[in-house]
Structure 1
């Protein structure tokens, strides 16, 4: 085989008018094979590293999927029931508002008969409320965490036809802690029979 290579190389050089260097070594197949082997080994190492990383990523995705599936689902929205347009209040003392018209209650953590939300798991929750009222009275509303006022809104009797107020808060709750709404003293909130202007909403952001 080597003689054939020398012959062909000599013939090519002669055809091109070049001198032939018979002392020039022929192609070293063993050396080239070792180079090729090193390249293949390097590619194999890279492929194994990619496979290992892919396995880790699959494991991470699986764990996240399990956490999402096992995480409790908690969310509610409630309004107040009335057969005609009316109002709650005014009262001579601050009064708990009972949003008894439950529109959504995923997880069943909100009690429409008492107006109280009870945290089923320790976690971070978000609550929001909206209130609507006629202008002939003030409207003061607060969210309470247990027995402590957390956030509030107040709409003064401005003389306009309708008043609106809303607020929201992120709360960290332990299992069993409760959240509810209160109406301020000598104020009221509008209750309609159809459109649900005044609402109380909450949901679990994530357990901790």
Structure 2
């Protein structure tokens, strides 16, 4: 009898548990409230719209990137053209090299004699196209590799005059005049192949003199013949 009652109780509990589970499942499977479904629809529509906007933004960014790339390319080409134009201007300016100068502009001067070779500084500059000649030092500096022609003239009163043209440290030619009475002159000229930054200048020969006045007897000139 006890066993039968126990079995009946167990069956009743099982039916009760099953009924509870079934009711819970029904509650879960019930449709969502209308306001929640409307909210979900709005969210879905918003997400879809955002996807479309993101797609358009990607396309627009790609177009902007392409335009920017093209602008950078154009700017690079313009900068290249500017550089080429500047180089051409510099080359054209470099090809215009010429100078001519005398020892003094006014009055008169006699330099020497000295025991050693002394650089002559021609202070009265008549022409200095390209600014390759320095009137403070008497030195001409080649701005570019090329063939250059130089000429120099010296004058002296009743004495010995001598002026040597020097390339860097090398003695090239010497203009020399020995005048025992009266006024005498001498001159020389030379064409040199110079590298850029080579220097050329004149040195008074030891124990000699040079004379100059407003008539410019002692001069130094040079110019670029052509680049190499």
- TM-score (norm. length: structure 1): 0.63
What is the DSSP-based 3-state SS (H/G/I as helix, E as strand, rest coil) of the residue aligned with 1:114?
Answer: coil
Which whole-Å CA distance do the structure 1 matches of 2:107 and 2:99 have between them?
A: 24
RMSD in angstroms over aligned alpha carbons? 1.7
Aligned to 2:216: 196
The offset of 1:104, in angstroms, is 0.3
CA shift digits 1:109-152 (9 cap, x unpaired): 000000000000000000000001101x2111110001110111
- Indicate which of 140, 151, 157 corresponds to 1:128: 151
Which whole-Å CA distance do the structure 1 matches of 2:106 and 2:175 have between them?
A: 27
Aligned to 1:43: none
Q: Where does structure 1 differ by over 4 angstroms across 4 or more consecutive aligned residues?
A: none
1:181 matched to 2:178? The reply is: no
Which whole-Å CA distance do the structure 2 matches of 1:82 and 1:101 have between them?
A: 5
Alignment of 1:7-156 (within 5 A): 70=92, 72-81=95-104, 83-135=106-158, 137-156=159-178
- The unaligned stretches of length 5 or more in structure 1 are 1-65
Alpha carbons of structure 1 residues 190 and 121: separation in structure 2 relative to 1, 3 Å: same
How many residue pairs end up in the alignment?
A: 139
Which whole-Å CA distance do the structure 2 matches of 1:152 and 1:126 have between them?
A: 15
CA shift digits 1:20-51 (9 cap, x unpaired): xxxxxxxxxxxxxxxxxxxxxxxxxxxxxxxx
What is the DSSP-based 3-state SS (H/G/I as helix, E as strand, rest coil) of the residue aligned with 1:152?
Answer: strand
Larger RCO, structures 1/2 (Cα 8 Å, 6+ apart) = 1
1:164 matched to 2:185? The reply is: yes
What is the DSSP-based 3-state SS (H/G/I as helix, E as strand, rest coil) of the residue aligned with 2:143?
Answer: coil
Bigger Cα Rg: 2
Which whole-Å CA distance do the structure 1 matches of 2:202 and 2:113 have between them?
A: 15
Question: More helix per residue: 1 or 2?
Answer: 2
